[in-house]
Amino acid sequence: MPAPPALLVKIPLVRGLVRLGVSLSPLFRRGGIARRRERWPLAAAVLAGFGLAVLPQRISFWTGLALTLGLLVWMLRGRTLRLHGAEHRAIAAAECSSLGAAWEGTARPSRFSPRCGTNFAALLLPVTLGLDELWPLATAVYTPVLVTLVSLALTMQLWRAVQSLRWPVLGVALWPGLALQRLTTREPTLDETRLALRALASVLAREGV
């Protein structure tokens, strides 16, 4: 991922949006991890939330529901969930220095990760609902879009704080996301774990680690 501009990462809330954009860049930039034919549906899914915010409530609800179901079908296809679990296992193996054991299958690090985007999504929902109820400014046409942006920024700040401070009490905020990973991951096979380990080795080599 590209490094965010140093000036922007010092500005509260803005740095959350910047880091979120940087995290999505491997999906959309040329030569990234997504195929060209996958980029347009992914871009539509990311931008849909802003478009739905300005539609009438009834239309927004049913359109959002249809988009959500479509994304779920796309995400649940093939080996996606097992490879998601394998990704978490490979990263956990690197962090606990058990790469060799994970490759041989004698160690099985956790397939659940506190840094997974699933945790971010689980935090985003209550933050958005709360901000929508407590929004202090007068309602305008652009208010739904502004609430969405501020919710994303606040959630990113909270998510990173929970990960970096390591306070046990803050870990409670990750419980919904970790529970949700029981749906978004599956137990990977050894071959799938090895595939994730090879991918991890490629990333580490590229980053010079």
Phi, psi of 186 (to 5 degrees): -135, 160
pLDDT tens, residue by residue, 105-126? 999 999 999 888 888 888 888 8
Please indicate whether residue 142 or residue 104 has the higher confidence score (pLDDT): 104
Per-residue model confidence (pLDDT) at position 167: 64
Q: At a CB cut-off of 8 Å and minimum separation 6, what does 94 contact? A: 200, 204
Percent of the chain with pLDDT over 90: 24
In three state form, how does the secondary structure of 40-68 look?
HHHHHHHHHHHHHCCCCHHHHHHHHHHHH
pLDDT digits (tens, 9 = 90+) for 58-104: 777 788 778 778 877 777 777 889 999 999 999 999 999 999 999 99
Characterize 83-121 residue by residue with b for buried, 16 or more Cβ atoms within 10 angstroms of its Cβ, and e for exposed.
bbbbbbbbbbbbeeebbeebbeeeebbbbbbbebbbbbe
Contact between 176 and 85 (Cβ < 8 Å): no
User: What's the mean pLDDT in 41-51?
Assistant: 74
- Tokens standing for 97? 């220095």
Report pLDDT for 170: 67
Bigger pLDDT: 164 vs 129: 129
User: What is the signed CA dihedral for 184, 35, 207, 109, rounded to 10 degrees?
Assistant: 20
Mean per-residue pLDDT for 140-144?
75
- For residue 205 the two structure tokens come to 């080599």
Residues 6+ apart with CB under 8 A from 17: 149, 152, 153, 156
User: Rounded to whole angstroms, how far apart are CA atoms 107 and 57?
Assistant: 50
- DSSP helix/strand/coil, 99: helix
What is the per-residue pLDDT for 165? 67
